[in-house]
Structure 1
Amino acid sequence: MKYIDEFRDGELARGLARAIAAEVHPERSYRLMEFCGGHTHAISRYGLQDLLPPQVRMIHGPGCPVCVLPIGRIDSAIELATRHGAMLCTYADTLRVPASGGLSLYKARAQGADVRMVYSCDDALALAEANPGREVVFFAIGFETTTPPTASVIRKASERGLKNFSVFCNHVLTPAAMTHIMQAQTGPDAVALDGFVGPAHVSTVIGYAAYQAFAEHYRKPVVIAGFEPLDMMQAILMLVRQVNDGRAVIENQFTRAVSREGNLKAQALVAQIFTLRDAFDWRGLGEVPASALRIRDEYVEFDAERRFGLDYRQVPDHKACECAAILRGQKRPQDCKVFGTVCTPDHPIGACMVSSEGACAAHYTYGRFRAADQQDTL
């Protein structure tokens, strides 16, 4: 397939692997975090870690929108569908995330709650129009990629005068999470990092210039990369070269989709509908300042949190689950005692095994955990 197969050429991948090996200094290590869950899946699916020299270690980041959603937010969504009797609409992966009391949105639906899977937020808007006697809530999650569509449906609902539609907003921000990870470099959650593979889809919206201040302040290189194996290998080569040169700049490997400024029209739409929260609770990272969005007061009638008076409370993860440490880059999926045994995609204990972008799901699906006996010597 044109423009896909070209980025999956095995011989070119091996050539890039040889180039990386030639650039690597044998006496040092290169610890690179792929922020996005899509990159984690690309690494596992195509066995890219096996092509890299032992000095280069790829570390999972918190870039899975379902994974970073804390249990308390899932509990609030269940409350909307049960106690408030709303028709709750959301994306598929969110339905399976374990919540408090052994529940999930799937299980709440099995007990009679009206929970619906939708393919887009416009589907939720259509359900509100088709059911004027029901309260319809769209459970919105995701990074900057999925925020503009949510903003669009809120504006449409306002223009159409819909009184039975609202949004439970859980949109979070990439640069804030990256900053939080770097600020923890000297604390108990410290993870030594030499650079970041920057997210692809997020960057199509916010542009690669959005990471400039991050690279300058923390002196860590960021290379924006696409999701194909050759994208990843080229981005890793670019990072290795920056580390060797002592540089810390933003480079854009994904030039076919990402520009410096990003999608200005989408950014303007988001700014019209949303504003920054003071702080937001992330699974694995805790409360992160200025890391999420809320609906502006001008559109308060479409804010489900305020319409239904939701009271968020923090809920600890399952004691056996290492999802939080995996999202921080402190541990690998195979370091979790329940990984691949009690916790599987069919019976997940934690969010990292649920999501199609989760690190545990990637390792389990593509068999990378079979290398668990290989010790990390970096």
Structure 2
Amino acid sequence: MKFIDEFRDHARARQILEHITTLVARLAEQRGGPVRIMEVCGGHTHAIFHYGLEAMLPPELELIHGPGCPVCVLPMGRVDDCVAIAERPEVILATFGDAIRVPGSRKSLIQAKADGADVRIVYSPTDALALARKHPDREVVFFGLGFETTIPSTALTIAQAAREGVDNFSVFCNHITIIPTLKAILDNPDHRLDGFLGPGHVSMIIGTDPYRFIAEHYGCPVVVSGFEPLDILQSLLMVVRQLHDGRAEVENQYQRLVTSDGNLTALEAFHQVYEPRENCEWRGLGSIAESGVQIKAAYGAYDAERKFAVPNQQVADPDSCRCGDVLTGNLKPWQCELFGKRCTPDQPRGALMVSSEGACAAYYQYGGGNVDSPNHSTSQAES
């Protein structure tokens, strides 16, 4: 498939869906329950809702919307730390746009901006470095977010700042990694997952080899998937076929962009600048060992946590917020009592309603904001 229309071909989608339906029916009958597959990546979650794929799948196939949206798993305490930095009079806080409305315990970054903090939206860490060059009398702090997909670009920017001697630039590092997180999910004795759609963007960096432990030690199939409708449907079929055949392997549906060993240049930059954190807090998931990274001492001058005093306190989400239950597959977005009522994209109470890759925001947008039923409105894929 070379052209975009081929990735959205209705006839081919129906053929794949027929195969999925047949195999899933057999598996559900054998198991006495549904087949549960987690799509790890928030980009997949968004695409699934955008194209109405979940509504097209057989009811015996249950999709679990995983933790692969970095904005969604940003803990409230880290938002508070970032706001504290932004409120310093000497600071220009540069951030990606999807992080500006994530609620903290006091306020979000956009509320801090309304109160007078100099918060600016940028499209890359190099934009933040350019701000530091332009404003040598100010401290420019970049709010570093994302999985392995964005870690190399931040690392390369830090290394560039060091080479140029731009000493008024630093990064508030909140980068996280996917492999320890998947292991923590699988080590939870309550997990009921049968397989995974592996994240496409992250896998472009790390490759497919790091997922082997999931198949070898936990007996769960993994298929790394692209993001178009037929990518996702084909990947689901590949997972279901493995389950039907009694196999547990790592397969690569996204071969046009993903290799087994990943992007070695990006990985080199990653390891040059960063090292694992002993523990990292995730919103809704708690503390996961070595699931985040921190800036190495050699680049400590560019670490905002070393340059500025931050509260660094853990803050629990409100009891009414059920983001953690949604992330772990114990609750669907529409089953949360806040969904679509006291929690909307305009006034989010939980992080999953902020980012377009969050399950709650995606369902609210593409499910018509229906707060009472899991049925989707007519989607692009069905029209």
The alignment's TM-score, normalised by the length of structure 2, stands at 0.94
How many Å apart are 1:357 and its aligned residue? Answer: 0.8
- Cα-to-partner distance string for 1:210-256 (whole Å, 9 max, x where unaligned): 11123211111110000111011001101111111221110000111
Residue pairs, 1:134-213, within 5 angstroms: 134-184=138-188, 186=189, 190-213=190-213
Spell out, residue by residue over 1:144-187, the C-alpha distance to the aligned partner (whole angstroms, 9 max, x if none): 00101100110000000011010001110011111111111x2x
Q: 2:137 pairs with 133, 138, 147, which one?
A: 133
1:81 touches 1:87 (CA, 8 Å); kept in 2? yes
CA contact (8 A) 2:339 2:371 kept: no
C-alpha contact 1:141 1:171 (8 A) present in aligned 2 = yes
The answer for the alignment partner of 1:15 in structure 2 is 15
**In the alignment, which residue of structure 2 is the partner of 1:294?**
294
The one-letter code matched in structure 1 to 2:196 is F
Q: Within 2, Cα distance between the matches of 1:169 and 1:249? A: 34
Give the aligned residue type for 1:210.
Answer: P
Please say if residues 129 and 157 of structure 2, whose CA atoms lie closer than 8 Å, have aligned partners that are also in contact. Answer: yes
- Taking structure 1 as reference, are residues 306 and 371 closer, same or farther at Cα in structure 2, changes over 3 Å only? closer
State whether structure 2 residue 115 is matched by structure 1 residue 111: yes
Match of residue 65 from structure 1 = 70
Q: Answer yes or no: is 1:39 the counterpart of 2:44.
A: yes
Q: How many residues align?
A: 370
CA drift of 1:327 comes to 1.3
Please state whether the residue corresponding to 1:100 is helix, strand or coil: coil
Deviates more, 1:62-71 or 1:211-220: 211-220
Are the aligned partners of 2:343 and 2:349 in contact in 1 as well (CA < 8 Å)? yes
SS in 2 for 1:170: strand
Instruction: Determine if contact 2:66/2:327 at 8 Å carries over to the other structure.
Output: yes
In 2 relative to 1, CA 192–369 (structure 1 residues): closer, same or farther, beyond 3 Å?
Answer: farther
Whether the 8 Å contact between 2:64 and 2:328 is mirrored in structure 1 is no
Distance 2:372 2:21 in 1: 23
What's the CA shift for 1:319? 2.6
Q: Is residue 191–residue 330 contact of structure 1 (8 Å, CA) maintained in 2?
A: no
The residue number in structure 1 matching 2:381 is: none
Q: CA separation in 2, counterparts of 1:368 and 1:241?
A: 33
1:60-111 per-residue CA deviation (whole Å, 9 max, x = no partner) reads 101101000101111111110114641110100110011112x110010111
Query: Is this contact kept in 1: 2:143–2:173, CA < 8 A?
Result: yes
Counting aligned pairs with the same residue, the percent is 51
Would you say the 8 A contact 2:94–2:122 is kept in 1? Answer: yes
Q: Which residue of 2 aligns with 1:361?
A: 361
Q: Secondary structure at the match of 1:235?
A: helix
Q: Which runs of 4+ in 1 moved over 2 A?
A: 368-375
CA contact (8 A) 1:333 1:369 kept: no
Report deviation, 1:370.
4.0
Give the Cα separation in 2 of the matches to 1:115 and 1:36: 28
Measure, in 2, the Cα distance between the counterparts of 1:36 and 1:369: 22
Distance 1:227 1:374, change over 3 A: closer
Residue 322 of structure 1 is matched in structure 2 by 322
Distance 1:246 1:277 in 2: 37
Counterpart-to-counterpart distance in 2, 1:30 and 1:54: 9
Separation (CA, whole Å) in 1 of partners of 2:357 and 2:129: 26
- Matched residue, 1:92: 97
- Structure 1's unaligned 5+ residue stretches are none
Instruction: Select which of 45, 60, 76 maps to 1:55.
Output: 60
1:44–1:368 contact (8 Å) kept in structure 2 = no
Q: Which moved more, 1:340-349 or 1:19-28?
A: 19-28
Q: Is the 8 A contact 1:14 1:51 kept in 2?
A: no
Which residue does the alignment assign to 1:254?
Answer: 254
Instruction: Tell me: CA distance 1:192–1:74, structure 2 relative to 1, closer, same or farther (3 Å).
Output: same
Query: In 1, distance between residues paired with 2:341 and 2:371?
Result: 16
What secondary structure sits across from 1:106 in the alignment? helix
Q: Partners of 2:118 and 2:374 in 1: how far apart?
A: 46
The aligned amino acid for 2:110 is Y
d(CA) in 2 for partners of 1:324, 1:50? 23
Contact in 2 for aligned 1:175/1:214 (Cα 8 Å): no
Q: 1:325: Cα distance to partner?
A: 1.2
Q: What amino acid is aligned across from residue 240 of structure 1 in structure 2?
A: V
- Provide the C-alpha distance between the structure 1 equivalents of 2:369 and 2:85, rounded to a whole number of angstroms: 38
Alpha-carbon displacement from aligned partner over 1:13-59 (angstroms, at most 9, x marks no partner): 11100011122214132100001111111111111122212211111
Q: Which amino acid aligns with 1:106?
A: I
Q: Which amino acid aligns with 1:271?
A: H
- The CA distance in 1 between the partners of 2:329 and 2:19, in whole Å, is 26
Give the TM-score, by structure 1 length: 0.95
Report SS of the residue matched to 2:262. coil
List alignment gaps of at least 5 residues for structure 2.
376-383
CA RMSD, Structure 1 to Structure 2 (Å)? 1.6
Aligned-pair distance for 1:369? Answer: 6.1
Match of 1:275 in 2: 275
